[in-house]
Structure 1
Amino acid sequence: MADTKRIAFLTAAEGIEAVELTGPWDAVTGAGHTAALISPESGEVQLFNHLDKAETRPVDVTVADASVDDYDALVLPGGVANPDALRTDEAAVALVKAFVEAGKPVAAICHAPWTLVEAGVLDGKRLTSWPSLQTDIRNAGGTWVDEEVVEDGKLITSRNPEDLPAFNKALLAALS
């Protein structure tokens, strides 16, 4: 497939909301694209169904070995602990910032915009998230709205797992 894209999924080691990783992952791979799981450390990451442990997933590439040039888009799954841990990892934050600066699609759901806040890339952007992040987003220069999916240039955001159908549709459209 000539238009096959490589999609990076960036997560911390644990606290990833399972469906917010697996839903977009299945959408992009089902459309014929290649997905890669990037995390600060090698091994496996622990997914959760809200607060209960779910499956684990193998890490494909560490943040230290990841390059924006190797991927066509970035997906940031939510979960509370996942983006909270990522935003304290300088290399992960730098990778997110590099994706935004490269003008590549970046899709973040639920609590994932916390990493975008830390990357300092929200000034003048319109986006959504889990409602508890709205003050953080506004303080970072963004405009928070309560909508199913928000697209501002190459930035795609959604509020929660119920928004995954619209989130995945916007993500796939950005890849075409």
Structure 2
Amino acid sequence: MNTPHVVVVMGVAGTGKTTIGPLLAARYGVPYAEADDFHPPANIAKMSAGTPLTDDDRWPWLDAIGDWAHGRGGLGGVVSCSALKRSYRDRLRSAAPGVVFVHLTGDRALVEDRMSHRQGHFMPTALLDSQFATLQPLGPDETGVAVDVTGSPEEITERALAALGALPEPAP
């Protein structure tokens, strides 16, 4: 992948989206956006209270991320977004058809351990099971790559860059 695309760094909470996203953006020389910044206060309050969001809670959030991605069309950008369900990714693709996904993957024990060491994040570890239950990995017809989250942030970023570089360029 050599042309400017919008890369959506996806995965369950605790996989490192907000760590890897900025590293990818820096390597590509494009802006980074944190999906959590697109949540309305009501969503943050629900998650802080340990209540999983419903699809109805997520649609306006996904639309705001899709609007950002659409505005970056042809310029490139990186945004972190859990994008756990195919329908969520379809919604992002409908707003910004050229988005490419990097699915950060890891086993539950590793992700839980990382979540337990985070400071100042509103997503409690108690919601991790609901995240894994909701997760629908990328389908073979979705443009994107799966990247294991073991190792350092730099190692994960290098794996993501290599996997993205191996993707075929989309037709104009």
TM-based fold match above 0.5 = no
TM-score by length of 2: 0.43
Higher share in strand: 1
- Point out which structure has higher relative CO (alpha carbons under 8 A, 6+ apart): 2
TM-score by length of 1: 0.42
- Structure number with larger C-alpha Rg: 2
